[in-house]
Amino acid sequence: MMHEIDLKAVGRLIDLAVDEDYADGDPTSEITVAEDAWGRAGIVSREKIVVCGMSIVGDILGRYSRKLGLQVLVNDGEEAGEGDLLGVIQGPTRSLLAAERVVLNFLQRLCGISTGTKEYVDAVKGTKAKILDTRKTTPGWRELEKYAVRCGGGVNHRMNLGDGVLIKDNHVTEFGDKIAEKLGPMVARARLYPRVKFVGVEVDDVDFQLKQVLAVEGIDVVLLDNMSYKEMRRAVEMRNEMCGERPLLEASGNIRLENVREVAETGVERISVGALTHSAVSVDIGLDRE
């Protein structure tokens, strides 16, 4: 399913977050709240968002107390408006208060990524282009951040280096004027790796590099690096004339919300946007006690 997440893979990150915030306990709550006090609080969105992270809130709460319960009212991938109740937590008040900051830290960042991704996805509606993320993720957060991109309607690029073979433009430059001749055996060898999901080649020139790359069979994606709209349109025309609809063409480099529509209208099938993760802005979510 689109919104599935590997909870085991993010367990270490949750443990680290809880440990850095709660390793020495919470003396404030111990002083001000009775040990047997029972509380209830709502997770509330302060703005319009695409929700992401509710699927891990229960795991976070369990680190503080198994008696903390969660009722999810808005699922990951769904939209919420200002003032909407995303979920309700109830249980020991001390544990609830201790968990608040870590829960919100995860939710605010992940919802920021999913919400920002949806803006890009909406901007290219009506074109054939899909919005992809990159490996420009926060160290340790990749599983979650790429999950957030999916919740926002985006598509994941490589999860790690082993997922795909991507021969960059710097590699292609080393081939001189024999790109097709040297690239062919490399593509064939890449196909032998069992975990490799796709083979891609990056080019920064249409009339020489791209023309030779398109002559090589077995390439799934060609990345058009930092090309102008005119160059991208020319690349689409050349690909269509030489190969039909494959390989897919992917625009990359200097893609912003302000120009993503123009990029999509050149006819490329994929647009990779590093800003989805490396420049995401956290949204405003609060925990309001009843």
pLDDT digits (tens, 9 = 90+) for 191-212: 889 889 999 999 989 998 899 9
Taking the CA atoms of the chain, what radius of gyration do you get in angstroms?
A: 23
The per-residue pLDDT for 147 is 96
Query: In terms of Cα–Cα distance, which of 104, 90, 126 is closest to 60?
Result: 104
For each successive 10 residues of the chain (290 residues), what is the average pLDDT? Answer: 72 96 95 96 98 96 97 97 98 97 98 98 97 96 96 94 87 80 90 90 91 93 95 97 94 95 98 96 95
The C-alpha torsion from 156 through 160 and 161 to 167, rounded to 10°, is: 10
Query: In terms of Cα–Cα distance, which of 67, 70, 74, 76 is closest to 41?
Result: 70
Sign of CA dihedral 255, 262, 156, 166: negative
d(CA 53, CA 5): 10
d(CA 210, CA 264): 19
For the question of residue 119 being annotated catalytic, the response is no
CA distances to 182, 206, 247 from 214, rounded to whole Å, are 13, 10, 8
The overall pTM is greater than 0.85: yes
Domains, in order of start, for the chain? 7-115+280-289 (3.90.1170.20), 122-278 (3.20.20.70)
For the question of residue 202 being annotated catalytic, the response is yes
* Candidates 40, 47, 59, 136; catalytic one: 136
Phi/psi-derived region of residue 258, left when phi > 0, alpha when psi is between -120 and 50, beta in every other case: alpha
* Candidates 46, 101, 125, 128; catalytic one: 101
The per-residue pLDDT for 1 is 37
User: Which amino acids are annotated as binding site for substrate, given as ranges?
Assistant: 101, 134-136, 158, 168, 202, 225, 252-254, 273-275
Say how many C-beta atoms besides its own lie within 10 A of residue 220's C-beta.
17
Strands (E), the chain: 38-45, 49-50, 69-72, 79-80, 85-92, 130-132, 164-167, 198-203, 221-225, 248-252, 270-272, 285-289
For the question of residue 24 being annotated catalytic, the response is no
Cβ-proximal residues to 200 (8 Å cutoff; 6+ apart), any chain: 164, 165, 166, 167, 219, 220, 221, 222, 223, 250
The per-residue pLDDT for 174 is 78
Query: In terms of Cα–Cα distance, which of 199, 196, 197, 203 is closest to 171?
Result: 203
The per-residue pLDDT for 82 is 97
d(CA 97, CA 21): 12
Say how many C-beta atoms besides its own lie within 10 A of residue 257's C-beta.
13
* Candidates 21, 59, 143, 168; catalytic one: 168
* Candidates 100, 133, 202, 231; catalytic one: 202
For the question of residue 8 being annotated catalytic, the response is no
DSSP-derived letter for residue 99 is: H
For the question of residue 136 being annotated catalytic, the response is yes
